[in-house]
Amino acid sequence: MLFDLFRKKQQKVPEINFSRIKTDIHSHLIPGIDDGAQNIEESISLIKRMMDFGFTKLLTTPHIMADYYRNTSDSILKGLDQLRDELSQRNINIEVNAAAEYYLDETFENKLNKGDVLTLGDKFLLFELSFINYPKNLFEVIDKILQKGYTPLLAHPERYPYLAGSVENYERIKDSGCYLQINTLSLAGHYGKQTQKVAEQMVDHYLIDFLGSDLHRMKHADAILKSLSMPYVSRLLTEYQLQNEML
């Protein structure tokens, strides 16, 4: 008991938290369907941490990736219902909705053509790229998303090495009609100094539209807590016009 009290005291959330933006738009909280929370207890623990950080709404985004995470809209929404039921039974009062984080592959384009996609709010479609190879059809896919009536939202652009060479790469993507979502974990240095430097550069050039946790596990939650004491995160939460609270 004394250890638990000491730990809680040590993990006290700084005065600046995420209550200003209210909504987290990128996480992996539905248990057992991707590389995020693996069971309901882990899901609940992560959600409680996010509440402690000031969030009042969570838009969780399981991976959909042909070779690894073959989730569907139906399986994600079924998992969401089960998670909501558990939260209700435990009297944990927070709004949780679900979309998806789509990997840019052939199955994504098929789903897009059929209109079988889950969006953030009414229109934002979150997608991610390969961490190794630059997708030659990137702007073609962005244009197709727009033609289908959705708004493309690129997940964690600061983490793609082939984009990190210049600010112009991000400006070109934004000019094509695609929004950009940066990871809080990047600014916390979780992915290394180079990714942190790129993320800070994006903040400096006002390239960011949304901030997302990309929360998978408790280690990420600890890093997010750490990030609240870092100047670039503080700047995003106090000076920036992020669009999270619009969702």
Cβ atoms of 182 and 202 closer than 8 Å: yes
Number of domain units in the chain:
1
Alpha carbon distance, N-terminus to C-terminus of the chain = 39
Cβ atoms of 179 and 125 closer than 8 Å: no
Residue 128 reports pLDDT greater than 50: yes
Is 111 inside a domain boundary? yes
Q: Summarize the confidence of residues 101-114 as an average pLDDT.
A: 94
- Supply the pLDDT for residue 183: 98
Question: How far apart are alpha carbons 108 and 141 in whole angstroms?
Answer: 10
Is 152 inside a domain boundary? yes
| CA-only gyration radius of the chain, Å | 18
Is 92 inside a domain boundary? yes
Is 162 inside a domain boundary? yes
Is 14 inside a domain boundary? no
Indicate the pTM of the whole model.
0.93
pLDDT confidence of 14, banded at 50, 70, 90?
Answer: low
- Going through 54-199 in order, the beta strands assigned E by DSSP cover 57-60, 63-64, 95-98, 101-103, 124-128, 151-155, 179-183
Is 3 inside a domain boundary? no
Q: Which domain holds residue 136?
A: 19-241
Residue 177 reports pLDDT greater than 50: yes
Specify the CATH number for the domain of residue 114.
3.20.20.140
Is 163 inside a domain boundary? yes
- Supply the pLDDT for residue 13: 54
Residue 97 reports pLDDT greater than 70: yes
